[in-house]
Amino acid sequence: MSRVRRRPPAPVVAAAGVTILFFAIPLVGILQRANWSTVWSDLTTSGARDALRLSLISSVLAAGLSIAFGTPLAWVLARSAVPAKPLLRGLVLLPMVLPPVVGGVALLAAFSLRSPIGGWLHDAFGLQLTFATSGAVMAETFVAMPFYVITVEGAMRGMDQRYEDAAASLGARRLTVFRRVTLPTIAPSVVAGGMLAWARALGEFGATITFAGNVMGRTRTLPLAVYLELESNQDAAVALSLVLLAVSLLVLVSLRGRWLSSS
Amino acid sequence: MRARTEPVAALLVLVMLIAASCSDSAGPSSPEAGSKGEAPGLSGSVVVSAAASLTDAFADVGEDFSEIHPDVKVMFNFDSSTTLSTQILEGAPADLFAPADEANMRKLTDANLISGEPKVFTRNELVIVTKPGNPEGIETLADLAGAGVISLCGEKVPCGKYAAEALAKAGVTIDESSITRGQDVGATLTAVTDGDAVAGIVYVTDAAKAGDKVEAVSLPEDVNVIATYPIGVLSGSTNIEVARAFMDHVLGGEGQEVLADFGFVPAS
């Protein structure tokens, strides 16, 4: 199919230009605010290194958990006739639109030491999620997993299901069909959804500080460190923000390469 | 084609979420406009940037002020004093500044942003707060070390600096990995009332506000630290007349009475 490329009308281009400025100006703002001579030393203080390390670990774990637990859920949502599916999907996607701090309050109500579940976990297994890295990972997963689920579910619904039917008619069991046909077909979406979830987990702030607290080396991830450094050392806050910006932009640009320009 | 549009939609949502989370969330709040009273002719609105520990007391003071001056609207911006002074230095519009320490006021006087002399209008003290019933049996600052996760304010926020002073006076060191840091005193208190922090150091007024959700353990005078609260009118105020009237009201009998009701200590 060949398509004639026509330029959009000038007013549309102008309006789009304004929109681009809307997104670009804050970016330029933070770049010109950065104190480039101290960026490296600001990023290598022990506090900053702790936050970088912790953010990397917790966000990778959150993305991994999202893939491990989100894939079966996406499969169920895309393929099976579970009752009240819109409600179920709404429940799963809720953290995408909920203010993260509300998610943090909800997690706290459900899993703090004084809650029934949190108290039981502590008494039975000595497990405490609050003020622990496990709690930070949980908060990040809570907020990030919906991005994975929505991406993979969409891919499963959109793929050509005749290949699955063909495999099934040739005698493949359902799990085999999933592993040998469905998963390879949607692999790009698994990668894209995983990266989206990872980027979101990396930037998670509200749920983490509310539920897991702000403990150096344990739950003080990059965004929390930025927030705290704003009070004392703005150069350091900007330097840490630049890391988050660079990584997020890299993820989005690489996803675009995978998803929009491949035709 | 549908396979492609949904990840794009997810991307758009992500971009919007990032944009939303970057926006300033601390909007000014305003008390209910007061009912009719004697109107000496002041009108317009003023924005008061005040320390988070003043939240409840200043809301009441603002209501009283609006009752006396029905045409005046007082709006508050409560946050940590350090955040507020940064906002004002960055050009955020405000008419009055009331931080919880003199260091943050000095940042603005040094930058010639304060009109006239700031005045100390009230004081506050520190207190240890624990879970109701004090299950860990915390009696002194020394008991905080090793008791579990302790909630303190950020190191550069006034309540965090005061807490560090008190701990230093008592010769107590708490390992940083056992400290969760709240961005302002409200967040620091919440970690004890609603979170799993074993104890925290906040102002006496915050402990009073939390009621029976915490147990307050007072500090002996020789280790306690007195927080002083100055107030000043910003030279960039667009309504200096009303701003001065509000400052006078805070320093006057009625304002002082409200502050005392909330547990603040008179300035002199």
Write the pLDDT tens digit of every residue in A59-104: 999 999 999 999 999 999 998 888 889 999 999 999 999 999 999 9
CA torsion, points B217, B218, B224, B226, in degrees to nearest 10? 110
Residues B95, B144, single domain; the answer is no
Q: Would strands B114-130 and B96-98 be described as parallel, antiparallel, or unpaired?
A: unpaired
Residues B250, B156, single domain; the answer is no
How confident is the model over B161-199, as pLDDT tens digits? 999 999 999 999 999 999 999 988 999 999 999 989 999
Does the pLDDT of residue B22 top 80, yes or no?
no
Instruction: Kindly state whether residue A37 falls inside one of the protein's structural domains.
Output: no
Measured between alpha carbons, how far is residue B242 from residues B39, B69, B96 in Å?
Answer: 13, 10, 10
pLDDT-based confidence at A228, cuts 50/70/90? confident
Dist CA B169 CA B166 (whole Å): 5
pTM for this predicted structure: 0.79
Which residue of B6, B14, B21 is in closest CB contact with A205?
B21
Residue B226, phi then psi, degrees to nearest 5: -95, 120
Residue of A231, A233, A242 for testing the chain B interface, max B β-carbons within 10 Å: A231
DSSP assignments along B223-263, one per residue = T--EEEEEEEEETT-S-HHHHHHHHHHHHSHHHHHHHHHTT
How confident is the model over A160-216, as pLDDT tens digits? 889 999 999 999 898 999 999 999 999 999 999 999 999 999 999 999 999 999 999
Dist CA B3 CA B10 (whole Å): 12
Q: Give the pLDDT confidence score for residue B19 in this predicted structure.
A: 53
- Residue B81 Rama label (left phi>0; alpha psi -120 to 50; beta): alpha
- Token couple for B113: 């942003």
- Token couple for A168: 């099934």
Measured between alpha carbons, how far is residue B130 from residues B77, B139, B144, B193, B212 in Å?
Answer: 28, 10, 10, 8, 10
Q: Quote the domain boundaries for residue A181.
A: 43-259
Residues B216, B245, single domain; the answer is no
3-state secondary structure of B96: strand
pLDDT-based confidence at A4, cuts 50/70/90? low
Q: What total number of domains does chain B contain? A: 2
Interface touch A216/B177, C-beta < 8 Å: yes
Residues B222, B233, single domain; the answer is no
Instruction: Kindly state whether residue A34 falls inside one of the protein's structural domains.
Output: no
Instruction: Kindly state whether residue B16 falls inside one of the protein's structural domains.
Output: no
A144-158, A240-254, B224-238, range with the lowest pLDDT: A240-254
Residues B104, B168, single domain; the answer is no
Interface touch B21/A248, C-beta < 8 Å: no
Q: Give the pLDDT confidence score for residue A189 in this predicted structure.
A: 92
B38-52, B101-115, B229-243, range with the lowest pLDDT: B38-52
SS (H, E, C) A28-72: HHHHHHCCHHHHHHHHCCHHHHHHHHHHHHHHHHHHHHHHHHHHH
A259-263, B226-230, B241-245, range with the lowest pLDDT: A259-263
Which residue of B3, B22, B157 is in closest CB contact with A159?
B3
Residues B102, B128, single domain; the answer is no
Burial track B206-215 (b if 16+ CB lie within 10 A, e otherwise): bbbbbeeebb
Instruction: Kindly state whether residue B256 falls inside one of the protein's structural domains.
Output: yes
How confident is the model over B29-44, as pLDDT tens digits? 444 443 444 445 788 9
Burial zone of A125 (CB within 10 Å; 0-12 exposed, 13-18 middle, 19+ buried): exposed
Instruction: Kindly state whether residue A165 falls inside one of the protein's structural domains.
Output: yes
- Of B245, B211, B255, B203, the closest CA to residue B228 belongs to B203
Q: Quote the domain boundaries for residue B132.
A: 124-226
Instruction: Kindly state whether residue B56 falls inside one of the protein's structural domains.
Output: yes
Residues B148, B212, single domain; the answer is yes
Instruction: Kindly state whether residue B11 falls inside one of the protein's structural domains.
Output: no
Instruction: Kindly state whether residue A85 falls inside one of the protein's structural domains.
Output: yes
Instruction: Kindly state whether residue B29 falls inside one of the protein's structural domains.
Output: no
3-state secondary structure of A153: helix
How confident is the model over B56-89, as pLDDT tens digits? 999 999 999 999 999 999 999 999 999 899 999 9
Instruction: Kindly state whether residue B23 falls inside one of the protein's structural domains.
Output: no
Instruction: Kindly state whether residue A149 falls inside one of the protein's structural domains.
Output: yes
Does the pLDDT of residue B248 top 60, yes or no?
yes
pLDDT-based confidence at A262, cuts 50/70/90? very low
Which residue of A130, A192, A217 is in closest CB contact with B7?
A192
Identify the contact set of chain B against chain A, taking CB-CB distances under 8 A: 1-11, 13-15, 17-19, 21-22, 80, 82-83, 86, 149, 151, 154-157, 176-183, 191, 194-197
Interface touch B14/A260, C-beta < 8 Å: no
Instruction: Kindly state whether residue A163 falls inside one of the protein's structural domains.
Output: yes
Residues counted in chain B: 268
Which residue of B9, B179, B196 is in closest CB contact with A130?
B196
Which A residues in the span 30-89 are in contact with B, Cβ-Cβ below 8 Å? none
Dist CA A139 CA A201 (whole Å): 9
Instruction: Kindly state whether residue A103 falls inside one of the protein's structural domains.
Output: yes
Instruction: Kindly state whether residue B177 falls inside one of the protein's structural domains.
Output: yes
Interface touch A128/B196, C-beta < 8 Å: yes
Dist CA B184 CA B79 (whole Å): 7
Angle between helix axes A46-79 and A234-259 (nearest 10 degrees) is: 30
Which residue of B8, B14, B196 is in closest CB contact with A113?
B196
Question: Largest alpha-carbon pair distance within chain B?
Answer: 74
Dist CA B136 CA B133 (whole Å): 9
Dist CA A231 CA A239 (whole Å): 14
C-alpha distance from A147 to closest chain B C-alpha (Å): 7
Dist CA B225 CA B102 (whole Å): 14
Does the pLDDT of residue A235 top 70, yes or no?
yes
**B190 near B55, Cβ under 8 Å?**
no
Q: Would strands B150-153 and B199-203 be described as parallel, antiparallel, or unpaired?
A: parallel
Q: Give the pLDDT confidence score for residue B28 in this predicted structure.
A: 43
Instruction: Kindly state whether residue A3 falls inside one of the protein's structural domains.
Output: no
Q: What is the mean pLDDT of chain B?
A: 87
Instruction: Kindly state whether residue B216 falls inside one of the protein's structural domains.
Output: yes
Residues B183, B217, single domain; the answer is yes
Give the whole-number percent of chain A exceeding pLDDT 90. 76
* CATH for B159: 3.40.190.10
Q: What total number of domains does chain A contain? A: 1
* CATH for A62: 1.10.3720.10
Q: Give the pLDDT confidence score for residue B35 in this predicted structure.
A: 40
Q: Give the pLDDT confidence score for residue A82 in this predicted structure.
A: 85
Q: Give the pLDDT confidence score for residue B26 in this predicted structure.
A: 39
Residues counted in chain A: 263
